[in-house]
Amino acid sequence: MYVRTSTRKTSDGRSVRYLQLAHNEWDPAVQRSRTKVLYSFGREDDLDRAGIQRLVAALSRLLDPAAAASATAPGGLEFTEARPLGGVHVLDALWRRLGIDAALRARLSGRRLGERAERILFALVANRALAPSSKLAATSWIAHDVHIDGLDTVVDEACYRAMDWLLEVEPALAEEVFHATAHLLNLEVDLLFFDTTSTYFETDEADDPVGRDEHGHRVGDDAEPVSEAGFRSFGKSKDHRDDLPQVIVGMAVTRDGIPVRCWCWPGNTADSALIRQVKADMRAWSLARVVWVADRGFASAANRRFLQQGGGHYILGEKLRGGTPAADAALSRQGRYQTVRDNLQVKEVRLAPDLADDRFVVCYNPAEAERDAATRARHVAALTELIDGTDTLPRSRRDELAGVISTKPHLKRYLRRTPGGLLRVDAAAIKTEANLDGKYLLRTSDPTLSTEDIALGYKQLLEVERGWRTMKQVIDLRPVYHRKEDRIRAHVILCWLALLHIRIIETTTGRTWPTVRDELQRLQAITYTGPAGTFRQTTTLTKTQRDLLTALDIEAPKKILDLATRG
């Protein structure tokens, strides 16, 4: 398809040019191509240039930004490249609004790293949010695949130096970022949720043990270690990869799902005491009255006493099976449930002072109870099929089968052995389990919270689990390409900062980050090169992109980003 020009003579002898949109068609009858006029634009000196420009713009919207830029390049200029801009533009605006750039630059004063380190750290955070990759791959991404204001290229050594320095300033930076975020979003920090996860490494070798303090950090030669452990160690994996070394990552999250800080411990660290360190680390933040919310892994008596120091309180999950005498008594008490919301029913149980001073709330979800009953029925049916007809087997064969069943916890709990060694389905165990269908038990030290607030507050612990899913599936916390402890810790901090930006964007816009990211990345920076020099400009904003920027209160990028003339 092309623009065809024809010339005609007027009555006064002048030559007039006419423009037509045409293309060639093959005529099989005469075995040659013929010109077919698709549209006539009329006389060149009477051309509706504004109308043609509107037509080109309308057609360009059907193309991707790079192709559209190439198609509409001004005369004399050559379109050379297009890079995604929108995602970085939004992340950078939030980075500055939270004061992270100023906080880092202030701490860079007098350092050999220079202010360029702030831009490098932002680029690494943006890489986690937009295109997670190794630090080596991130340098190529920065140089060729994205437009970052103030940073054209970077080498991997500069990335590692910036990460090492980030680890030094993280405690002070985390506090400044938290207060800026709380002010920006008017956060409610009356509830803080804490949970841990693990992330494994694709290696068979754990790190050599070194002396560590009570917080899991390495100690110097002049300090007495509390324990010895390698950072990448074998432990109880929450990813079901006990065969690989791992590290433990903890996160504190507000009721709005905003992650306020992250921690990292050796892979063999037990969960039980970690929440005490977390509270101690955040004591200097001058938070108002805080209720800590955590699952049953943190419900030890020592943790409960520690969380109450300084007027604090807690909402903790309690074990339903094999729990404390107080928990057993709470579950056995009769009472009427009160429906609150979201198919959730609650009842509070008051115990005698000699059993517990805390309040207990039993939560019941009828829909979850139906699922539990159906799951148990499948397990009992599978167990029945396994042991059916075993009475005729030798005892050694029955012992062997019982050993196999003992490796399957979902079947083991329903198996009973008679004094004679026969295998039976345990009807009493089934009845006990049925009494727990759809239930979970909460324990709180706060005397002022209503039962509804207690139940719904604990239910918001799901926000932490959502954060872990984002960290692992969107930001790609794993795989970790580092082997040095400090680099692994810095990598976790970068992932936390990326998650912080993502959750602010999701909370503000009401949309998921993958949806927002994909739309923003269609806003691109395009580069033209011509005889006079090079300039870079942005593509036209779509309505959706404009709505996202409005919701986030972020100005659109400048139309002309760079202009370099040749001398």
Instruction: Domain ranges for the chain, please list them.
Output: 1-47, 65-83+527-567, 368-434
Q: What pLDDT was estimated at residue 322?
A: 67
**Omega of the bond leading into 479 within 30 degrees of 0 (cis):** yes
DSSP-assigned letter for residue 270: -
DSSP 512-526: -HHHHHHHHTTSEEE
Higher pLDDT, 311 or 210: 210
Count the helices and strands in the chain (H runs, E runs). Answer: 19, 20
Helix (H, G, I), strand (E, B) or coil at 537: strand
Q: 395-406 and 366-387 helices cross at what angle (nearest 10)?
A: 150
What percent of the chain is modeled with pLDDT above 70?
92
The predicted model gives 128-156 an average pLDDT of: 89
The predicted model gives 142-160 an average pLDDT of: 89
How many whole angstroms from its chain centre is CA 473? Answer: 7
| Spatial strand order in the sheet of 15-27 | 2-9, 15-27, 32-43
Q: What pLDDT was estimated at residue 401?
A: 94
Does 221 score more than 80 pLDDT?
no
Does 438 score more than 60 pLDDT?
yes
Single-letter amino acid code for the residue at 271: D
Q: What pLDDT was estimated at residue 536?
A: 84
Q: What token pair was written down for 98?
A: 């939270």
Q: What pLDDT was estimated at residue 393?
A: 92
Q: What pLDDT was estimated at residue 128?
A: 93
Residue in the block written with tokens 């329903």: 414
Which positions ≥6 away from 451 have C-beta within 8 Å? 338, 340, 346, 347, 348, 361
Q: Compute and round to an integer the Cα radius of gyration of the chain.
A: 33
Q: What token pair was written down for 71?
A: 């198609």
Q: What pLDDT was estimated at residue 90?
A: 97
8 Å CB contact between 229 and 266? yes
Considering Cα of 253, then 257, then 261, then 262, what sign does the dihedral take?
positive
pLDDT band at 6 (very low <50, low <70, confident <90, very high): confident
Dihedral-angle region of residue 7 (phi above 0 means left; psi in -120 to 50 means alpha; beta otherwise):
beta
Q: What pLDDT was estimated at residue 64?
A: 60
Does 65 score more than 60 pLDDT?
no
Within 13 Å of residue 512, how many CA atoms lie on the same side as its CB?
8
8 Å CB contact between 82 and 69? yes
| Spatial strand order in the sheet of 78-84 | 78-84, 524-530, 533-538, 560-565
Does 183 score more than 60 pLDDT?
yes
pLDDT band at 57 (very low <50, low <70, confident <90, very high): low
The predicted model gives 454-466 an average pLDDT of: 82
pLDDT band at 478 (very low <50, low <70, confident <90, very high): confident
Task: Write out pLDDT tens, residues 279-322.
Answer: 888 877 766 667 888 888 888 888 888 888 877 889 998 888 76
Task: Write out pLDDT tens, residues 92-115.
Answer: 999 999 999 999 998 887 777 777
Does 56 score more than 70 pLDDT?
no
Q: What token pair was written down for 469?
A: 């899913």
Helix (H, G, I), strand (E, B) or coil at 360: strand
Average pLDDT taken over every residue of the chain: 85
Q: How far apart are CA 520 and CA 501, in angstroms?
A: 14
Helix (H, G, I), strand (E, B) or coil at 531: coil
Does 69 score more than 80 pLDDT?
no
Cα torsion at 253, 258, 259, 260 (round to 10°)?
-90
